[in-house]
Amino acid sequence: MIGVRFGPGSDGRSVRGFPRRLRGLYLLIAALTAVPGILRAQVFHGTPSDYRSLIVGLAPGDTLSLAAGTYRSGLPIIDLHGVPGRAIVVTGPARGAPAIFPGRPCCNTVQIKDSSYVEIRDLKLDGRDIPGIDGVNGRGVTHHITIEGLTIVGHGGDQQDVGISTKGPAWDWVIRGNTIVGAGTGMYLGNSPGDDPFVRGIIEYNLMVDTIGYNLQIKQQNPRPTGIGMPPDGGRTIIRYNVFTKAHGASSGAMARPNLLVGHFPLTGAGRNDVYEIYGNFFWQNPTEALFQGEGNIALYDNVFVNDFGDAVNIQPQHGVPRMVRVFDNTVVARDSGIQVIGGAAGYTREVIGNAVFAGSPIRAAYRRDNVAVPYAAAGDFLNRISGALGGRDWFPRPGMLTGVAVDLRPFQAFTDYNRDFDGTLRDGTHRGAYAGSGVNPGWIPRLEIRPPLGVIPVPVATSGGGVPGPVKPVPGSPGSGAHLVTRMRARY
């Protein structure tokens, strides 16, 4: 920190006596220093022996950089507040040996409470399958929190154990580039009664593998609390570029859960016009439930859904009912139901447009048009490769397939990236499904990995094993990785 005193300086001269050519700079530094937090940002280097004592003193703009090692006392982020543009950052090594936080029976591993403008990056959380603990847990009022590049394993002691959870009003969270393997639930945002809303978040570039329950659930929302600074009506929560899979280890019967479920926003007051924008995701297998379930206000587009065991998309009543629903430009391959939109509220539009659906029962919706809807068994006639190991399959259209009269995309222009396909290619409306092209796939081939940023070419790197992913160390340029292919990025998302 730069310190400047008014009045006599160390050389005994006053500001008035300061050399004229330096007087302006002197006064500027003095003025900046008088504002709390200005020019104060520092980088602290923590180790397992001293990191807890460093956390409590962090101020806006500060970074706590943790060395590789094992941190056995958890990570409490309690009443810590950065400011816009000057977040408090706690980070482990971006590459090489990780900073590991093993689970403890007493406590959630990373506990965030009553904090804002905090970023937590590049840590490994190993819950050791101790029941009753979460990897990351937010309580109280939290906002502008970033959780990035975490590897979360060993949180599968019970279906109620969660990789990343919020249990208090939370808004403007960014959850990016995390790998969650084998948790009871991957992410659980909100609480069961609906009193702790998760609002205006961004959930992107995550890999959620073989959870017992949901890969991700965002709970329904009652009327929002007032007087705590929550965002106004008309926000959007964005779920994009994630990989969701429940191919192994899922609960069955009454405990079966979809890969992704979103509940309704408040039915009245602030938030009633919020919307979920869910696009560019890859959904892979669920032997016991649908890949996606939702209600309320939903825009679902440019996703690839594959379930060789059951249903793909069920938009239906749960705690509320579907309201504004737009399902467009998705590729769906499902043994049973493809896209189902039922039980909606009067006075709202629900549309299914421009999708390519290959399913036992392709589309059930009151309003549908310009879709390709054919039996599940016929998918191979339209798509490049629908069988074999993941990474060898390719749901890009065969040459000349899945085209038609141009769909007018203007009704969707309120939605983020509405005119970009699964790989970010600009659409002209003539292609059905998630891809705006046919023939050779120029983009990412879906597999169990954190998908590369749009426009970044993945370079395969050998891995030590196959099958279901285990703990994965980040590689340069990427805060996480996957199972069958580790992707070395040329740019960070």
Q: Which two tokens stand for residue 257?
A: 């859960």
- What are the strands, taking DSSP E only, across 55-184? 63-66, 69-70, 75-78, 88-91, 99-102, 110-113, 116-121, 124-126, 136-139, 142-148, 151-153, 162-167, 170-171, 174-176, 179-181
Q: Using one digit for the tens of pLDDT, what is the confidence trace for 219-255?
A: 999 999 999 999 999 999 999 999 999 999 999 999 9
Q: Using one digit for the tens of pLDDT, what is the confidence trace for 342-353?
A: 999 999 999 999
Amino acid 458: pLDDT: 52
Q: Where are the domains of the chain?
A: 1-39, 98-488
Question: What's the pTM?
Answer: 0.87
CA torsion 349→355→359→363, rounded to 10°?
20
The SS3 assignment for 327 reads strand
Contact (CB, 8 A) for 372 and 357: yes
Percentages (nearest 5) of helix, strand, coil residues in the chain: 5, 35, 60
The total of other beta-carbon atoms located within 10 Å of residue 269's CB is: 12
Q: Using one digit for the tens of pLDDT, what is the confidence trace for 54-100?
A: 999 999 999 999 999 999 999 999 999 999 999 999 999 999 999 99
More confident residue, 209 or 471: 209
**Full DSSP string of 226-274:** -SS----SS-EEEEES-EEE-SSS---GGG---SEEE-PPPSSSTTTT-
In eight-state DSSP terms, residue 103 is: -
What is the DSSP pairing of strand 124-126 with strand 99-102?
parallel
CA torsion 134→136→141→143, rounded to 10°?
-150
Contact (CB, 8 A) for 227 and 240: no
454 pLDDT band, cuts 50/70/90, is: confident
Residue with tokens 């703990």: 471
More confident residue, 472 or 141: 141
Q: Using one digit for the tens of pLDDT, what is the confidence trace for 262-301?
A: 999 999 999 999 999 999 999 999 999 999 999 999 999 9
Going by C-alpha positions, the residue among 300, 299, 301 that lies closest to residue 274 is 299
Q: Using one digit for the tens of pLDDT, what is the confidence trace for 386-437?
A: 999 999 999 999 999 999 999 999 999 999 999 999 999 999 999 999 999 9
The SS3 assignment for 282 reads strand
Residues ≥6 apart with Cβ < 8 Å to 220:
190, 194, 263, 264, 295, 296, 318, 319, 320
Residues ≥6 apart with Cβ < 8 Å to 83:
37, 60, 117
Q: Using one digit for the tens of pLDDT, what is the confidence trace for 143-166?
A: 999 999 999 999 999 999 999 999
Check residue 16 and give left, alpha or beta (phi > 0: left; psi -120 to 50: alpha).
alpha
Amino acid 489: pLDDT: 29
